């Protein structure tokens, strides 16, 4: 009875994991992008499946008490801020529920049943939100293109496309982004420098990458270009360096016809190749190619929680798997005997080693490779060597993991179970894979003790969590 293009009135009763509103008509659920829980809406069906359908929001008939006026005029087209139309307190409730639901449904942990939660000794803490949930990003990457009239434009790609919607002001980024874009675009116009065209592979300027050190106020501008030389670069440098805090102006060479934004080569135009930032008293040097968390305020809270969960006294041997540029490793090293950091990207390990040196830290060993390969290899060799030398077997007190969205590899989890650390601290950016992995560790002898969701990406549907697990027999 439901078919495409049919119009319906729905009351939005729930939100899906991607921030879509969910409302039912005659028992049939419909997913409606941009609808907010509590809204009464008019929608048009765009696609029908057997048990559910998709519909487009046509009109809000009665706004939800949680609906707010989005700050950004482009929020529906952009897709970066899926839930900007929802007030921040409700965003936080939505994310907390997402973590709770995943732990319960996928992980099998009794999170909503308070009595059982208490009996099992699981503490689920309220999500840590931000006082100012806008302008929090320290990194922005703007694509540069040409519009139909031949003018140079910058903005963001329309959701699931490579069409640039012109906009220089993103409410998640810092104010200086706009000034930098104005300078770059007017420089390109004056000097007749063309924007890169993905269709033909011609033109020069592809992206502008900006990074900002929240603590140090240092600014980095990196122009990604389809070549090795930027004509009249001195004119651009002259204007950019007038901005207070400008520290690094570079080119990144990317001549490949690909979606990947950055190439491998960096050419310094002015200043140094990196900026410095400080999180929790630790200094980090960040180059255009380094991975660095985008929300420094919440990152500090996230790492502090991870460090607190590790309960270090100075005698512990700790592993930090998926360590990136060693951010968590450096936090842990302040209170551990020794830290081993493992990361698959070689350049990140080079950054990690430099960061450790800069901070005068000498109790970390960084290892390059996949966690699921490095960890078992190191463990087995360590055991073998101890047996041969007639020494006590090597032991690990705490293992911290911070994997990408797909979670930990099973071989990595199996090795953790064999190494039997007293505590495992799991930092996760995807609560579904987190729940899957926690279930596996639970079955292997670990109890879930604490869960702390942290809002690292306000206005988006993403949520970070830190979890503490104890070995049952320790
Ligand atoms: N802990 C760091 C980085 C977390 S992001 C921080 O907070 O900054 C996850 C990291 O895991 C990335 O740096 C990615 O390169 C790395 N990674 C992905 N797959 C991996 C694997 N199989 N083994 C080790 N590291 C991996």
Average pLDDT score over residue span 369-377: 97
What would the DSSP string read from start to end of 231-285?
Answer: TTHHHHHHHHTTSTTEEEEEEEE--S-SS----SEEEEEEE-S-EEEEETTEEEE
Instruction: Check pocket membership of 430 for ligand 1, CB cut-off 6 A.
Output: no
Span from the CA of 303 to the centroid of ligand 1 (angstroms): 15
DSSP letter assigned to residue 202? B
CB-based contact 441:424 (threshold 8 Å): yes
Q: What is the pLDDT of residues 259-317, one digit of tens each?
A: 899 999 999 999 999 999 999 999 999 989 888 899 999 999 999 999 999 999 999 99
pLDDT score recorded for residue 5? 96
| Distance from the alpha carbon of residue 158 to the mean position of ligand 1, in angstroms | 28
Task: Write the residue with the smallest CA distance to atom 16 of ligand 1.
Answer: 322
Residue nearest to atom 10 of ligand 1 (CA): 322
What is the CA(313)–ligand 1 centre distance, in A?
Answer: 26
User: Which residue is closest in CA terms to ligand 1's atom 23?
Assistant: 370
Rounded-to-integer distance, Cα 99 and Cα 109, Å: 11
> Length of the chain, please?
474
Residue 191 has pLDDT above 90, yes or no: yes
Per-residue pLDDT for 114 more than 90?
no
Q: How confident is the model at residue 386 (pLDDT cuts 50, 70, 90)?
A: confident
429 in active site: yes
Asked if residue 323 has its Cβ within 6 Å of ligand 1, the reply is: yes
How would you classify the pairing of strands 164-166 and 152-157? antiparallel
Answer whether 342 contacts ligand 1 (Cβ < 6 A).
yes
Please determine, for residue 120, whether its predicted confidence score (pLDDT) is greater than 90: no
116 C-alpha to ligand 1 centroid (Å): 34
- What pLDDT, on the 0 to 100 scale, is given for residue 176? 97
* HSE, side-chain direction, 13 A CA sphere, residue 175: 4
Phi, psi of 35, rounded to the nearest 5 degrees: -90, 145
Task: Summarize the confidence of residues 210-220 as an average pLDDT.
Answer: 97
Q: Is 22 in the pocket of ligand 1 (CB under 6 A)?
A: no
Mutation test residue for ligand 1: of 320, 324, 367, 462, the one with most atoms within 8 Å of CB: 324
In degrees to the nearest 10, what's the CA dihedral of 108, 113, 119, 120?
20
Q: Tell which atom from ligand 1 comes closest to the C-alpha of 370.
A: 23
Q: Which helix (H) or strand (E) segment is 119 a member of?
A: helix 114-119
Q: Quick one: tokens of 288?
A: 């255009």
pLDDT of residue 387: 85
| Residue 173 vs residues 140, 186, 211, 219: alpha-carbon distances, Å | 7, 21, 10, 13
């Amino acid at each position: 009875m439901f078919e495409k293009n049919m119009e319906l009135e729905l009351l939005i009763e729930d939100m899906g994991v991607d921030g879509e509103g969910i409302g039912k008509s005659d028992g049939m659920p419909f997913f409606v992008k941009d609808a907010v829980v509590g809204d009464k809406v008019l929608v048009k069906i765009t696609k029908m499946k057997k048990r559910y359908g998709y519909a487009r929001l046509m009109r809000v008939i009665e706004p939800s008490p949680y609906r707010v006026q989005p700050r950004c005029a482009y929020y529906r087209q952009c897709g970066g801020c899926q839930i900007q139309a929802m007030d921040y307190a409700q965003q936080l409730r939505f994310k907390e529920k997402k973590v709770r639901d995943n732990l319960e449904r996928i992980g099998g942990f009794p999170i909503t049943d308070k009595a059982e939660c208490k009996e099992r000794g699981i503490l689920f803490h309220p999500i840590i939100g931000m006082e100012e949930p806008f302008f929090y990003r320290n990194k922005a990457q703007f694509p540069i293109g040409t519009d139909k009239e031949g003018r140079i434009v910058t903005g963001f790609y329309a959701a699931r496309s490579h069409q640039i919607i012109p906009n220089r002001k993103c409410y998640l980024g810092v104010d200086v982004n706009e000034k930098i874009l104005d300078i770059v675009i007017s420089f390109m116009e004056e000097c007749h420098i063309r924007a890169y065209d993905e269709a033909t592979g011609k033109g020069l300027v592809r992206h502008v990458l900006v990074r900002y050190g929240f603590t140090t106020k240092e600014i980095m501008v990196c122009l990604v270009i389809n070549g090795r030389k930027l004509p009249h670069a001195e004119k651009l440098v002259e204007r950019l360096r007038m901005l207070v805090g400008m520290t690094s102006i570079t080119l990144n060479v990317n001549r490949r016809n690909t979606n990947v934004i950055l190439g491998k080569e960096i050419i310094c135009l002015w200043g140094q190749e990196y900026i410095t930032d400080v999180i929790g008293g630790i200094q980090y040097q960040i180059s255009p190619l380094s991975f660095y968390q985008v929300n420094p305020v919440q990152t500090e809270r996230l790492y502090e929680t991870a460090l607190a969960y590790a309960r270090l006294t100075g005698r512990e041997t700790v592993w930090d798997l998926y360590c990136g540029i060693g951010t968590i490793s450096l936090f842990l090293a302040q209170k551990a005997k020794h830290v081993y950091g493992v990361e698959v990207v070689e350049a990140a390990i080079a950054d990690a080693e430099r960061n450790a040196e800069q901070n005068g830290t000498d109790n970390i060993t960084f290892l390059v490779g996949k966690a699921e390969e490095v960890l078992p290899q190191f463990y087995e060799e360590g055991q073998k060597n101890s047996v041969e030398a007639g020494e006590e077997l090597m032991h690990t007190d705490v293992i911290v993991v911070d994997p990408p969205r797909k979670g930990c590899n099973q071989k990595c989890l199996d090795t953790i179970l064999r190494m039997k650390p007293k505590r495992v601290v799991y930092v996760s950016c995807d609560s579904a894979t987190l729940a899957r992995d926690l279930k596996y560790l639970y079955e292997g002898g670990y109890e879930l003790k604490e869960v702390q969701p942290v809002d690292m990406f306000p206005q988006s549907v993403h949520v970070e969590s830190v979890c503490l697990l104890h070995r049952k027999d320790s």
